[in-house]
C-alpha cells in the first residue's frame, strides 16, 4: 500500500486532537504514536508492578513486558544480543553513563575525540570528564556547511585516543555522519566509538553491527515513544568491560558489609526501578516503526524538505545553516532571516499554529562555527504535509511584514 501522510497522522492521537497544529519540531520530540500509547495504557491497567523483584504473577507479567521491550529495541538496532540493550532515561543519561563508566578508567593525557557539531549532551559530559580525569579533548573540524571534515580525522584521532564520540546526524543541519571512516580511524587507534543516534533513529531502523560502533545512544521521545526512557546499546564485549556507573537495587550480584559484586550487563547499568511503562511504550513504538516501508516515508519527508528549502531560498535576507542539498541529510532545515531574532520569528509562527524551535539548539560550539547565536529550525516527520510547509512559509512572510 502506498504511503499517505494523512493516513499516518491518524496514528498520532495528539495530531487528531489538534487539527490546526502544524507540528514541525520533530527533532526536539516526535509525537506519541498510538502503538506506544496503547502499550503504556495496557501495562498500567493490567500489569503494573515493579520488575525483576516480584515472584507473584502480576510482577512476572511486568517482567515479561519489560524484557519484551528490550528484545524489540534490540531488533530495531539489529543488536547481536538482547543483553546489549541497556534502558536509560534518554540519550543524555546514556552518554553520561559511558563518560563515567568508561571515562573514569582513563588517565591524564588519554584523549577523547569529538566533533564541533555535537549536541551539548555529547559535549559537556566529556568536558566534565576532562575536569575529573585530566584527559585531552580533540575536535574533528567541520567544513563550511557544518559537515564533519573527514579529510582531517588524523588531527583529532591520534594514537593516544581512547574514545571517539560523534553524532550520527546533526540536530541543527540534519547532516548524516559518514561513520565508516571514523570507525576505521578509531579501530586503528585502538579507541572505542560512541555514536549519538538521537536524531537518526526517528528515520528508520539502524544496524549497529554494520556501523562499526561500540556504543549507540538514543531517546524514546524522538521515536514517537514516551519521554523518560532511552537506550544505550553496547557491543557485548564493550559493555562487559565497563564497571557500573550508578549503584543501587537491581545491579548487584551479592552485597555484604565488606563488598559488592555486580550483575552482568544490562542489569549492571540499570540501578533502581527502571522506566518500566516508558520502556514498554518504546518497545511497542519501535516494533511498529520497524514494520514500515522507510524508503517511502523518507522520500515523502525529503520531498517536503526540498520544497521548503527551495521556497525559503527565495525569501529576502534568508541564510541557511548547513548543506542545502538533501544528500545524506535528514529533513531538518535551520535558517535565519536577517534582522529578526529566532525567538521573535517563533512567536509569530506560533500565532499561525506553526510549532518550530528557535535558539542555539543545545549546539553552541556549532553555532560558533557558523558565527551566529542561534537559528530557527523546522524538522519534519512523515506525518507532515504540504499544508504544514505552506503555513510555515506564510508565517515567515507575515513575520517579515510585521517585524522588519
Q: SS3 for 32?
A: coil
Q: Could you identify the residue written with the cell 542545502?
A: 324
Q: Among 356, 308, 359, which residue's Cα sits nearest to residue 329?
A: 308
- Least separation in angstroms between CB 50 and ligand PLP: 24
Contacts of 146 (CB under 8 A, 6+ apart): 117, 170, 172, 173, 175, 321, 322, 323, 366, 369, 370
Binding-site size, ligand PLP (CB under 6 A):
13
Residue 247: CB atoms within 10 Å:
12
CA torsion sign for 292, 295, 296, 297 is positive
Q: SS3 for 262?
A: strand
Using the rule CB under 6 A, which residue among 31, 173, 199, 384 binds ligand PLP? Answer: 199
DSSP symbols for 53-117: S--SHHHHHHHHHHHHHHHHHHHHHT-S-GGGEEEESSHHHHHHHHHHHTGGG--TT-EEEEETT
Q: Among 149, 200, 141, 152, which residue's Cα sits nearest to residue 174?
A: 200
Site stretch for ligand PLP (CB under 6 A), options 12-20, 142-150, 194-202, 376-384: 194-202
- Least separation in angstroms between CB 92 and ligand PLP: 3
Our finding on whether 384 is near ligand PLP (CB under 6 A) is: no
- Least separation in angstroms between CB 227 and ligand PLP: 8
Site string for ligand PLP, 216-255 (x = CB under 6 A): ---x------------------------------------
Our finding on whether 119 is near ligand PLP (CB under 6 A) is: yes
The yes-or-no answer on residue 362 being catalytic is yes
User: Is the Cβ–Cβ distance between 34 and 16 less than 8 Å?
Assistant: no
Residue from 33, 133, 362, 369 carrying the catalytic annotation: 362
**Footprint of ligand PLP on residues 32-91 (CB under 6 A)?**
90-91
Using the rule CB under 6 A, which residue among 115, 121, 173, 177 binds ligand PLP? Answer: 121
Using the rule CB under 6 A, which residue among 26, 31, 92, 379 binds ligand PLP? Answer: 92
**Footprint of ligand PLP on residues 155-174 (CB under 6 A)?**
167, 171
Site stretch for ligand PLP (CB under 6 A), options 7-15, 40-48, 191-199, 231-239: 191-199
Active site residue ranges: 362
Which residues sit at the interface with ligand PLP, rule CB under 6 A? 28, 90-92, 119, 121-122, 167, 171, 196, 198-199, 219
Amino acid at each position: 500500500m502506498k504511503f499517505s501522510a494523512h493516513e499516518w497522522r491518524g496514528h498520532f492521537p495528539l495530531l487528531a486532537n489538534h487539527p490546526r497544529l502544524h507540528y514541525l519540531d520533530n527533532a526536539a520530540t516526535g509525537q506519541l504514536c498510538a502503538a506506544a500509547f496503547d502499550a503504556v495504557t495496557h501495562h498500567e491497567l493490567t500489569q503494573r508492578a515493579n520488575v525483576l523483584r516480584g515472584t507473584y504473577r502480576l510482577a512476572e507479567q511486568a517482567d515479561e513486558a519489560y524484557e519484551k521491550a528490550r528484545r524489540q529495541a534490540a531488533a530495531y538496532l539489529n543488536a547481536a544480543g538482547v543483553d546489549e540493550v541497556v534502558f536509560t532515561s534518554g540519550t543524555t543519561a546514556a552518554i553520561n553513563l559511558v563518560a563515567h563508566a568508561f571515562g573514569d578508567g582513563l588517565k591524564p593525557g588519554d584523549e577523547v575525540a569529538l566533533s564541533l557539531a555535537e549536541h551539548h549532551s555529547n559535549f559537556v559530559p566529556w568536558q566534565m570528564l576532562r575536569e575529573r580525569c585530566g584527559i585531552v579533548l580533540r575536535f574533528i573540524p567541520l567544513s563550511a556547511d557544518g559537515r564533519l571534515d573527514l579529510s582531517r580525522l588524523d588531527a583529532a584521532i591520534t594514537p593516544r585516543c581512547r574514545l571517539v564520540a560523534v553524532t550520527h546526524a546533526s540536530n541543527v543541519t540534519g547532516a548524516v555522519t559518514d561513520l565508516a571512516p571514523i570507525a576505521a580511524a578509531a579501530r586503528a587507534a585502538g579507541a572505542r566509538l560512541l555514536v549519538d543516534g538521537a536524531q537518526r533513529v526517528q528515520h528508520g531502523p539502524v544496524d549497529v553491527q554494520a556501523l562499526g560502533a561500540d556504543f549507540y545512544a538514543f531517546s524514546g521521545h524522538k521515536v514517537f515513544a514516551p519521554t523518560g526512557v532511552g537506550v544505550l546499546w553496547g557491543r557485548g564485549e564493550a559493555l562487559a568491560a565497563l564497571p557500573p556507573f550508578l549503584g543501587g537495587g537491581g545491579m548487584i550480584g551479592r552485597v555484604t558489609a565488606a563488598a559488592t559484586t555486580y550483575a552482568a550487563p544490562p542489569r549492571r547499568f540499570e540501578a533502581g526501578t527502571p522506566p518500566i511503562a516508558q520502556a514498554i511504550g518504546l518497545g511497542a513504538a519501535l516494533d511498529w516503526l520497524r514494520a514500515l516501508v522507510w524508503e517511502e516515508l523518507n522520500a515523502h519527508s525529503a520531498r517536503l524538505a526540498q520544497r521548503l528549502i527551495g521556497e525559503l531560498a527565495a525569501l529576502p535576507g534568508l541564510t541557511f545553516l548547513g548543506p542545502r542539498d538533501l544528500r545524506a541529510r535528514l529533513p531538518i532545515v535551520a535558517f535565519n532571516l536577517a534582522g529578526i531574532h529566532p525567538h521573535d520569528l517563533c512567536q509569530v509562527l506560533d500565532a499561525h499554529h506553526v510549532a518550530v524551535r528557535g535558539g542555539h539548539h543545545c549546539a553552541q560550539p556549532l553555532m560558533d562555527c557558523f558565527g551566529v547565536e542561534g537559528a530557527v529550525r523546522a524538522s519534519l516527520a512523515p506525518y507532515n504535509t504540504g499544508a504544514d510547509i505552506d503555513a510555515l512559509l506564510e508565517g515567515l512572510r507575515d513575520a517579515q511584514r510585521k517585524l522588519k
